Amino acid sequence: MNSTGHFEEDDLVLYAMHLLAEPEASAVARYVAESEEARRQLADVRASLAAYAEATVELQAPPNGSLDRLMGQIAQEQKTIAMPVTVPARTAVRAESRGLPGKVLPWIGWAVAAGMTVAAGKLYQDRATLHRMLTAQTGQVTQLSAGAMAVYHERDTLKTDVAEQAKEFEALRMEATRAKSEMANLRTTAAGQTAKLNEETAKSGEQTEVAANAMRERDVLRGTVAAQADQMARLTTDATKARQVLEALTDRGALRVTLTEPKTSAAPTGRATYVASRGTLVFLASNLAPLKPDKVYQLWIMPADGSNPVPAGTFAPDERGNASVVYGQFPRAVLAKGFAVTIENDGGSQTPTLPIILAG
């Protein structure tokens, strides 16, 4: 529809092709109903479209049996044709005779004969028509009978099918009942197994806790045993050293020498106890003069074979001038003829530095 309220031919063409949507389609339909010009235009459009369809479509024959199907359907929908009402000729004759008795009477016989002939012809036509209708209806009855037989047959077939389906349904119902029962049993079993599993899981948890505690205790004990083993080793070492010292001090064959400052009779003294076969050396000193922080006293073993003095350890006196050097097992088995003490730089020396502080 354009702005002036009139329909354009575009819309009429679309309407003719059923392509207009509502409400435009209804509006165009009203317009066509009211306007003769619109109806003419619509007829023109349809004629063009019809020609277009006829001219462009590729013709193809309908499927086989299409006509038979149509005729079969038509046979089932027989038309009832209205019969024309025949007017008896005698009535007309009587009407005429009332008006002009004298002139018409001589023709009555002929008129009756003609009327009879017409009536007979009409009756013959009616009979023929009735005969056709009877034939058609007989055909229809035959078809209906055949149809009824087919329906009866179909009904029997359906009855059989229904009975079979009922049997199948019953079998399925029983199977479903059995399946339900089995499922209930399975559910009960599964519930029992689940409860048992939960219980075992709880127990397992407790056992796991106990095992963890045991492992922790074991680790603690291991640590304790290791510490005790270390302590034992230390005590054993200490006991060994103590025993060696004791044996050195009590050994009758031990060389015992008292060392003094060579040029003075002052107080510094040293006493060395040495068992060469065991390598045990105990040196005790007293009245030693204090040293500078970077100096230490160093004990020397004077080998019996006259070779160079062997360093036997460094030491620093305490505030009272006392000091000691103890070797449980001297590294080198050296036979000694004497001992000496010198002052060396901190860390000791490989050769003695003069002067000799103590000797003996």
Partner 1 sequence: MAKKSDALGAITASMEPDSSLLAMVQQGHEQAMARLFHRHSKLVYSVALRVLRDPAAAEDVLQEIFMQIWRTPPNFIEARGSLGGWLAVVSRNRSIDLLRKKRPTESVEDVPLASPYDLAKEAEQNLMLERVRILVAELPDEQRKALEMAFFEGLTHSEIAKKTECPLGTVKTRIRSAVQTLGKAFRP
CB crowding 1-26: b at 16 or more within 10 Å, else e: eeeeeebeeebbbbbbeeebeeeeee
Nearer CB in complex with partner 1: 11/344: 11
Q: Give the span between the Cα atoms of 288 and 321, in whole angstroms.
A: 4
Q: Give the span between the Cα atoms of 109 and 112, in whole angstroms.
A: 5
As measured in angstroms, the least distance from the Cβ of 5 to partner 1 is 18
Q: Considering the rule CB under 8 A, would residue 210 count as an interface residue with partner 1?
A: no
Q: Which stretch binds partner 1 (CB under 8 A): 44-52, 256-264, 291-299, 338-346?
A: 44-52
**Judged by CB under 8 A, which of 2, 4, 18, 206 binds partner 1?**
18
As measured in angstroms, the least distance from the Cβ of 62 to partner 1 is 4
Nearer CB in complex with partner 1: 54/206: 54
Q: Which stretch binds partner 1 (CB under 8 A): 47-55, 98-106, 202-210, 251-259?
A: 47-55
- Which H, E and C letters describe 115-135, residue by residue? HHHHHHHHHHHHHHHHHHHHH
Using an 8 Å Cβ cutoff, are 271 and 321 in contact? no
- State which of positions 55-114 bind partner 1 (CB under 8 A): 55-63, 66-67, 69-71, 73-75, 77-79, 81
Q: Considering the rule CB under 8 A, would residue 206 count as an interface residue with partner 1?
A: no
Reduced to 3 states (helix: H, G, I; strand: E, B; else coil), residue 1 is: coil
Nearer CB in complex with partner 1: 46/203: 46
Nearer CB in complex with partner 1: 72/88: 72
Q: Which stretch binds partner 1 (CB under 8 A): 12-20, 205-213, 278-286, 352-360?
A: 12-20
Nearer CB in complex with partner 1: 137/198: 137
Reduced to 3 states (helix: H, G, I; strand: E, B; else coil), residue 277 is: coil
As measured in angstroms, the least distance from the Cβ of 149 to partner 1 is 24
Amino acid, res. 38: A
Nearer CB in complex with partner 1: 65/109: 65
Task: Find where tokens 């205790």 sit.
Answer: 217
Report the DSSP beta bridge partners of residue 299: 341
Please state the length of the chain. 360
Report the DSSP beta bridge partners of residue 256: 273
Q: Considering the rule CB under 8 A, would residue 9 count as an interface residue with partner 1?
A: yes
Question: How many other CB atoms are there within 10 angstroms of residue 33's CB atom?
Answer: 9
Q: Which stretch binds partner 1 (CB under 8 A): 46-54, 216-224, 251-259, 334-342?
A: 46-54
Reduced to 3 states (helix: H, G, I; strand: E, B; else coil), residue 256 is: strand
By C-alpha distance, which of 301, 292, 296, 226 is closest to 257?
301
**Judged by CB under 8 A, which of 48, 137, 145, 204 binds partner 1?**
48
Contacts with partner 1, residue ranges (CB under 8 A): 9-11, 13-14, 17-19, 21, 39-40, 42-63, 66-67, 69-71, 73-75, 77-79, 81
